[in-house]
Structure 1
Amino acid sequence: MPSIPEAELIRLQANQARVRNICILAHVDHGKTTLSDSLLASNGIISSKLAGKVRFLDSRADEQERGITMESSAISLYFKIRRRVAAASIAAAANKANAAAAAATAATAAAAMGNVTDQSNDNTTNTTTTTSTADGSAANSGTSTPSESIAEEYLINLIDSPGHVDFSGEVSTASRLCDGALVLVDAVEGVCTQTHTVLRQAWKESVRPVLVINKIDRLITELQFTPMEAYIHLNKILEQVNAVMGTFFSENVLEEDYRKKAEKKKEQEGKESTTGLEDMFSDWHVETQDDSHIYFHPSQGNVIFASAIDGWAFRVDQFAAIYAQKLGMKEGVLRKCLWGDFYLDPKTKRVIGYKGLKGRALKPLAIHLVLDNVWKVYDVVVVNPDKEMTEKVVKSLNLKLLPRDMRSKDTRAVLTNIFSQWLPLSTCVLLAVVEQLPSPPAAQKIRMPKMLHPFETTPPEPTEDWEKGMIDCDPSSGVVAYVSKMVSVPLDVLPKNKRKTLSAEEMRQRGRVQREQLIAAAKSAELGEVGVHLDVDEVLANRVQKEAEEKAAAEELEGKEALIGFSRIYSGTVRVGQKLKVLGPKYDPANPTQHCSEVTVDSLFMIMGRDLIGLDQVPAGNVFGIGGLEGHVLKYGTLWSAEWEGGQNLVGKGLETAPIVRVALEPEDPSQMAQLVRGLQLLNQADPSVQVLTQETGEHVILTSGEVHLQRCMADLRERFARIEISMSEPIVPFRETAVDAPAQIVTSSAMAVNEAQGRDQAEKLIAKSETGARGTIVATTPNRHVRFVVRTVPIPEDLKKYLLDHAEQIQTYVEDNGGNTKNNSGAAVLTGDVETGEKAKAQKKLLDELTPLFAKAGEEWKGREKDILAFGPRRVGPNLLINQLGFDFSRNRSSNSTDAAEESQGGISVQDMAESIQTGFQIATNGGPLCGEPMLGMAFFLQEIEILDNSQEAGGSGGEGRSKMAVSSGQVITSMRDACRLGFLEWSPRLMLAMYSCDIQTTAEVLGKVYAVIARRKGKILHEEMKEGTPFFSIQALLPVVESFGFSDDIRKRTSGAASPQLIFSHFEVLDMDPFWVPNTVEELEDLGEKADRDNVAKKYMDVVRKRKGLFVEQKIVEHAEKQRTLRKN
């Protein structure tokens, strides 16, 4: 098929009803890119024989080398089908189109065309009396209605996304831009971890999915299943996928039910309670919700069975169209019976159900009419090659194969040729996309209300013009677009820099002109005119000079990169030269001047994989590239019409993998630091998952999702963005510090003491354990002896700690919305302060309602203390608590009118003046614990006493002297509070918490022992092992410390000869149940382990490594037993 002209694709952009924006989602190695290749081959972009081998959308060298997709890529495809529709329907559609065209104004001509076509497309399934079969021909439905053939053209904007867990951010990018998705599942491996993740992402973004069960050929050639066994196996996969979808639906139903109950309870407050009968019927609304539309079933047309590598795919309706007339049945009825417990009675030739079997061993229709035929082709072509039978099959299917193809010794090539004519993959998939997935106007009516009101269960009716424009996908409205990521492309790929490719006719014309010039110059030379020879030389010189200039321009552009925005327009029409507002991710309509800038559209592009097509304008409903955003959009943002006031932030929270692996970078040549900084800026914009930080020490650090992601980022820096040699530190893995209720070891190392600097003796006098208080109670006095306070450190109970970790995002949103504890109110409780009515008040009440039972359950000491939380930490949102146990509120705003103010202050310093310093010390302590300076997790600090000592009266001087002494006291309170928290922490039994990967591996029984050995050697633990029924594969779930994971994937592939490949995703922090200060005490321990037991105390080893990296003191003897004689063995 010839390549589609650019003009055709650009023309279809204006016809919104004929546009489909789709993405391909799947687990790694389930066949996404192979499927994409087959779709590209249908447009003549690549050869059909290279589909699955060239991996066209994997444009990076490392993608081709590893065989996995690392970046989401987009391309626009053209699809044309012919349908047989009733003649009356055609006339009605034509009249409607004429009426709409007459009513449309010149300014909205393109939009009117889109609306006319939308009407015809939305009713495609209703007006179509026959459907296109896989080979493109129409199958008769058995009706006698006069029909004609009409052509329908579609523009399919396809985005291929990665399946590797390290690049989950790219999946969020793709799903945010699309209205539909092709979800691929390997027919052998079934539903895997990333399958679950991408289905959740599609559900969250209201993206309608179509299920593609790929690699069915493996069931035939590898597992050697019979059609019956394959049918049972495929049904199990459908059950697995539908179980996942049902889980999502149940979560929504329960959440909605909880909300309705809460509203009803609120309405009934103060009224008489309902009767028991009313309570019994109050929950019935949960059962009335219909969930049939969310499931996959072949009879609904949303399931495709495929083998992308062999180039075939089918839906059951294709076989229903073929067999309907032969069986004398209506196509619609047969389609519903072609999958499930339906059988063909050989005597009556009628379809019967399971009850009609009456003990007979009949095959289900799906096997008898569908799978048997596919298995037969594989049997005679590949499994048991038989040329005669192959020719009979080809003839019975009415296919036309060339004799040379039939004589080919490559049986797989013969198979592909047969299936490409019988059940072509591209036709089946694109037809399913057109019929099952919505157009932009239809999709935005569903998606936009949820995107604009993400926290509303029932979104309100649109009132603003921009809101109506987005929901209606109105191209004549103001511009609203979403930039999902910034894509780095070479400058020479941009259309303005690209050398124009001449057509054959243009090249012939240029040759004729040059020959005529040379002939004319030669004739003049024959006449003997003076200096005419220079004319011939000049013609040749001009040609050489022009070629040299073009070559120099290309060399100048080589290696340089430009950033374009990968975007979706929801409303309006964006044009080159238009001015737009850019709303950043932190944009808040309440502060419209912040995180907002104005930009002029520099260029627009249609993204065609590795190439870009320049555009003048892009109407609503399309995916496109936009230039001119560099310096305005960091990773993602919202484009808003400059004429509209305010704006709405469209940035959503995806399912990105938390960046857990960090490394420090520096150039090999220090003089190239500026190039490294520039390269890091480009990397930060081009990669949605990476984080680039500059430490206080000046070090440049990048955070990545995993080892593969880190390797890709380093390759980009060295080869594309910085283009210099870069040295990389050892990977830095985060730890957490916590404490448990166990006997504490004696801390003998000065490195673990509260004050590691000079003056340790003084610190011991001023900060010490309370002799009378409970465990973890510390009495601290500032060095100038002006302030004394008592802090008690307690581990947070497990249930409460789990809540704080699970609801960290909710707590962060609440604290940020309320501005945290400001300087003027830093002593007030976080959850009981005065907040505005509305959403903030609801969030405060919800947090208190959820925390109250957890605090009550924790014990008498905790009961009611949720209202006394002064701060969360570290960074004011972490899972550590500072709790006020003073008995009074010492915030500035409340104590100014308190009658106890005189008692709480002495001289010029008051307790209220210390509130901010107390909180700052708490934040510093929780951000870097005493073990190795890593953040604490799950610790509570009760502020029990605070006292201003008598000798502090001298600090109340007047003027600058008083303020100076006040500042000194505040600074000393911060350090004293920090040290008190750390010493209280050490009073308990401290533990390190390791970052853990969740590891999923699928492998065969032959290498199962080797997999276990590798996991055990890296201190992992097996959680679950299950054999996938009907397959030789085992599914293993394990936990692996991140610190031990580097090189794990390569190691396990080497040990198993490539039979096992792990998927690692960050899971949680887990306590390493080993005291880093433990040393052998008993005689047996000393005999077995020695005095230090360094080789067995893993916690101490990890702690010392981190302390050494941070430049902290490490207790390590350089020379031991120096008095012993050294014996040097000579060779």
Structure 2
Amino acid sequence: MDKKSNIRNMSVIAHVDHGKSTLTDSLVSKAGIIASARAGETRFTDTRKDEQERCITIKSTAISMYYELTENDMAFIKQCKDGSGFLINLIDSPGHVDFSSEVTAALRVTDGALVVVDCVSGVCVQTETVLRQAIAERIKPVLMMNKMDRALLELQLAPEELYQTFQRIVENVNVIISTYGEDENGPMGNIMIDPVIGTVGFGSGLHGWAFTLKQFAEMYVAKFAAKGEGQLSPSERCKKVEDMMKKLWGDSLYIFFYIYMYAPHNLSVMPNIFLIYIRSLSLSPFKLQAFEILMSKSSIFPKKILAPKGLITSSFLYSRTILMMGRYVEPIEDVPCGNIVGLVGVDQFLVKTGTITTFEHAHNMRVMKFSVSPVVRVAVEAKNPADLPKLVEGLKRLAKSDPMVQCIIEESGEHIIAGAGELHLEICLKDLEEDHACIPLKKSDPVVSYRETVSAESDQMCLSKSPNKHNRLYMKARPFPDGLAEDIDKGDVTSRQELKTRARYLADKYEWEVTEARKIWCFGPDGTGPNLLMDVTKGVQYLNEIKDSVVAGFQWATKEGVLCEENLRAVRFDVHDVTLHTDAIHRGGGQIIPTARRVLYACQITAEPRLMEPVYLVEIQCPEQVVGGIYGVLNRKRGHVFEESQVMGTPMFIVKAFLPVNESFGFTADLRSNPGGQAFPQCVFDHWQILQGDPQDPASKPFQIVAETRKRKGLKEGIPALDNFLDKL
């Protein structure tokens, strides 16, 4: 652990059921932690009972493994090294899309990623998602093509077909890397994978063998250099192949990690600063937290975390340090920089994640950006009202334990849990009931988060007067051009950008006036959302004095829209004119903030308001004969297919479709019952789409949704009338 150049921190990421946990088992057995005979069955990194029962990974799990390299293999490691003993801190992450936040958290504390791909199924939708997450976190990927035994035994592919399959997978992965990655001159350099340079491995985690082209090259060198090699009898040849396969596994994959992944100390930027990034918090006070200790120039400034002396600033932040070993933990006295470690007791100071540092003027490390959104909600309440304090405490602990889940208290007093999907919510509710609150719960049916938007420019100039009638705000609303909201979500347009750069981007891509694009007051809600407040006034006095108050009203209005108090999306509000009292005491926040909110609501109502619903991208693998049944299920659920293709060399088809999240409840069960249980769907949040129909028309579907949402939130029946917000001169 002290040899920082001999440490590798890595994550295992992949699509669901592509063999991550089985592969990790084989690595763990090679490190001598479990018996080789049980590798693939033990699922050592699946630590929860429900993970073992469902045979899926739900929570990321860390494990540390030690391995000795031979002199021949040491010659291939170009980075500096300290001896032949190496330590791998490996995190096995989930593959199911509902637990993508765990993948993001695992990637945040590691320096390399092993991308596992089933060589029969190929690159799937979640493979692209996790690769995109890795590149966003500037993690170097290497590829492992798993389940080669299926290609050889089930499909019985010929050598040429196998080669074409491998080539197609490498090409697909490189397309994703080139799409989302930086250029070769960026900080990460060239991260394209290539079997020739050794960044691609091949093997079978279940049967415990693997290789890279490097191993084959070494075998051919030995074969052609030795005399009499070709005279082996058939029985001797079989024995030789069996021995060779035993040697191939583990060694080749461990060498793979050491050669092509970075050591933590090579990633340093600032000297002499001690940093800990807090990735996630434990499920209970008796379990542990996973962190990474980041240290710059650690060889010059060798700082350690000491177990009994966790004194930082003026209070003890943690009581002891722990080394995580899958389903077990080992107490450890001190942890050098560059390792992944558990700190017991630090969760009392944190909500979800955080940064501990000795640098007085440090900034927090960047907040994790997730590839999924918590769009599915469920209301919970205690069966016994006397247990309400336990429920509140349990919700706090649940929010700490999961990076993605949101626990909200509505104005009506309802407790809401928001998750990424049905399975994620099911696991969260189970944890809340059994581990966190430990009380019986009543749960509502799942509901979906919606967004409010507008479809046209306001049909009149909207005016609102302040309560004292001395101030007036004139504004209009209009919809975003297509693509701008997505650019804000991706971070291409942000509030922190340089003013001229952002204005030029908006002018070039969306044909905005440069002078107008420079007058963005703020983004909302929460200062980063996909709505804009623009200043298009000319020669208005005292405008800057009320800017903060108008921005506060804008954040309020975009957080709770006028239709059913859902977030606004893709709306631009223009401030056209302002009439203000000359005396500052009459234009304070108490006068301007509610006035701004009222005029923004008036703008929304006069700009043809619409409701937006979240939409899943569904990828379904199935045999050809059940494709017709899939179309029938999707048609009943308001879904539509946009792509259908056959997996080359197999009888399997891949159907891609868009499916509204509101229609996705029970979709998996319907799909497996109708086409005979041979269809396997994977749903990932893709985009927001406008629901057809006017929310103000009683015959439309959006009107019904608005009415149901307002009733659930305890709001007055019916959308408020325009007269409540619009004033007259």
Q: TM-score, normalised by structure 1?
A: 0.57
How far the C-alpha of 1:775 sits from its partner, in A, is 2.1
Distance 2:486 2:142 in 1: 36
Selected match of 1:1098 from 680, 701, 716: 701
- 2:674 is the alignment partner of 1:1071: no
SS at match of 2:289: strand
The 5 Å alignment of 1:186-585 reads: 186-249=118-181, 251-252=182-183, 294-328=191-225, 395-398=236-239, 418=242, 422=246, 424-438=248-262, 440=263, 443-445=264-266, 447-449=267-269, 464-466=271-273, 479-488=274-283, 561-570=286-295, 571=298, 572-581=303-312
Selected match of 1:165 from 97, 101, 106: 97
Distance 2:494 2:636 in 1: 39
Q: 1:353 maps to which residue? A: none
Contact kept in structure 1, 2:504 and 2:514, CA below 8 Å = no
Identity among equivalent positions (%) equals: 34
Contact kept in structure 2, 1:484 and 1:637, CA below 8 Å = yes
How far the C-alpha of 1:190 sits from its partner, in A, is 1.0
SS at match of 1:398: helix
Spell out, residue by residue over 1:871-915, the C-alpha distance to the aligned partner (whole angstroms, 9 max, x if none): 44444544334444543233366xxxxxxxxxxxxxxxxxx6x76
SS at match of 2:52: helix
Distance 2:367 2:31 in 1: 34
Equivalent residue letter for 2:714: G
Q: 1:1002 maps to which residue? A: 621
Relative distance call for 1:970 and 1:396 in structure 2 (3 A) is closer
Distance 1:217 1:1048 in 2: 32
SS at match of 1:211: strand
Distance 2:259 2:141 in 1: 12
- 2:391 is the alignment partner of 1:676: yes
How far the C-alpha of 1:156 sits from its partner, in A, is 2.6
SS at match of 2:430: helix
Selected match of 2:59 from 71, 77, 96: 71
Q: 1:52 maps to which residue? A: 40
How far the C-alpha of 1:615 sits from its partner, in A, is 0.9
Relative distance call for 1:186 and 1:597 in structure 2 (3 A) is farther
Relative distance call for 1:863 and 1:792 in structure 2 (3 A) is farther
Contact kept in structure 1, 2:210 and 2:252, CA below 8 Å = yes
Distance 1:808 1:1107 in 2: 34
SS at match of 2:268: helix
Q: 1:775 maps to which residue? A: 459
Distance 2:184 2:72 in 1: 42
Equivalent residue letter for 2:57: T
Selected match of 1:630 from 347, 356, 373: 347
Distance 1:803 1:211 in 2: 29
How far the C-alpha of 1:329 sits from its partner, in A, is 9.4
SS at match of 1:932: coil
Q: 1:176 maps to which residue? A: 108
Q: 2:726 maps to which residue? A: none
Relative distance call for 1:1042 and 1:239 in structure 2 (3 A) is same
Contact kept in structure 2, 1:487 and 1:566, CA below 8 Å = no
Larger CA Rg, structure 1 vs 2: 1
Contact kept in structure 1, 2:412 and 2:714, CA below 8 Å = no
Q: 2:516 maps to which residue? A: 865
Contact kept in structure 2, 1:486 and 1:636, CA below 8 Å = yes
Spell out, residue by residue over 1:644-703, the C-alpha distance to the aligned partner (whole angstroms, 9 max, x if none): 544353345344422222333221111112222222222222222222333344433322
Relative distance call for 1:736 and 1:628 in structure 2 (3 A) is closer
Equivalent residue letter for 2:272: D
Contact kept in structure 1, 2:466 and 2:591, CA below 8 Å = yes
Selected match of 1:647 from 362, 368, 375: 362
How far the C-alpha of 1:1106 sits from its partner, in A, is 1.4
Q: 1:931 maps to which residue? A: 563
Distance 1:167 1:998 in 2: 16
For the aligned residues, what is the CA RMSD? 3.7
- 2:607 is the alignment partner of 1:607: no
Spell out, residue by residue over 1:216-242, the C-alpha distance to the aligned partner (whole angstroms, 9 max, x if none): 111123222122211222122122222
Q: 1:267 maps to which residue? A: none
- 2:436 is the alignment partner of 1:721: yes
Equivalent residue letter for 1:566: F
How far the C-alpha of 1:34 sits from its partner, in A, is 0.6
Equivalent residue letter for 2:278: V
Contact kept in structure 1, 2:380 and 2:416, CA below 8 Å = yes
Contact kept in structure 1, 2:4 and 2:265, CA below 8 Å = no
SS at match of 2:621: strand
Distance 2:355 2:548 in 1: 37
Equivalent residue letter for 2:143: L
Spell out, residue by residue over 1:172-231, the C-alpha distance to the aligned partner (whole angstroms, 9 max, x if none): 222233233322111011112222233333334443433211111111232221222112
Contact kept in structure 2, 1:311 and 1:420, CA below 8 Å = no
Distance 1:561 1:183 in 2: 32
Distance 1:125 1:781 in 2: 70
- 2:482 is the alignment partner of 1:850: no
Contact kept in structure 2, 1:1052 and 1:1060, CA below 8 Å = yes
Q: 1:20 maps to which residue? A: 8
Distance 2:532 2:278 in 1: 38
Unaligned runs of 5+ in 2: 720-729
Contact kept in structure 1, 2:76 and 2:259, CA below 8 Å = no
Residue range with higher mean Cα deviation, 681-690 or 68-77: 681-690
Distance 2:387 2:532 in 1: 45
Q: TM-score, normalised by structure 2?
A: 0.86
Relative distance call for 1:246 and 1:879 in structure 2 (3 A) is closer
Contact kept in structure 1, 2:558 and 2:567, CA below 8 Å = yes
Contact kept in structure 2, 1:63 and 1:69, CA below 8 Å = yes
If each structure's strand is expressed as a fraction of its own residues, which one has the higher value?
2
Spell out, residue by residue over 1:750-808, the C-alpha distance to the aligned partner (whole angstroms, 9 max, x if none): xxxxxxxxxxxxxxxxxxxxxxxx82333445676555554334334446555555548
Contact kept in structure 1, 2:105 and 2:280, CA below 8 Å = yes
The 5 Å alignment of 1:682-721 reads: 682-721=397-436
If each structure's helix is expressed as a fraction of its own residues, which one has the higher value?
1
Relative distance call for 1:640 and 1:699 in structure 2 (3 A) is same
Distance 1:42 1:217 in 2: 20
How far the C-alpha of 1:974 sits from its partner, in A, is 5.2
SS at match of 1:1065: strand
Equivalent residue letter for 2:410: Q
Residue range with higher mean Cα deviation, 775-784 or 602-611: 775-784
The 5 Å alignment of 1:28-43 reads: 28-43=16-31
Q: 1:374 maps to which residue? A: none
SS at match of 1:178: coil
Equivalent residue letter for 1:627: V
Distance 1:1016 1:713 in 2: 31
How far the C-alpha of 1:714 sits from its partner, in A, is 1.0
Distance 2:604 2:362 in 1: 47
Higher relative contact order (CA 8 A, sep 6+): 2
Relative distance call for 1:971 and 1:247 in structure 2 (3 A) is closer
Selected match of 1:1034 from 643, 646, 653: 653
Relative distance call for 1:578 and 1:845 in structure 2 (3 A) is farther
Q: 1:810 maps to which residue? A: 494
Distance 1:392 1:1055 in 2: 54
SS at match of 1:54: coil
Distance 2:525 2:220 in 1: 68
Relative distance call for 1:315 and 1:852 in structure 2 (3 A) is closer
Equivalent residue letter for 1:1009: G
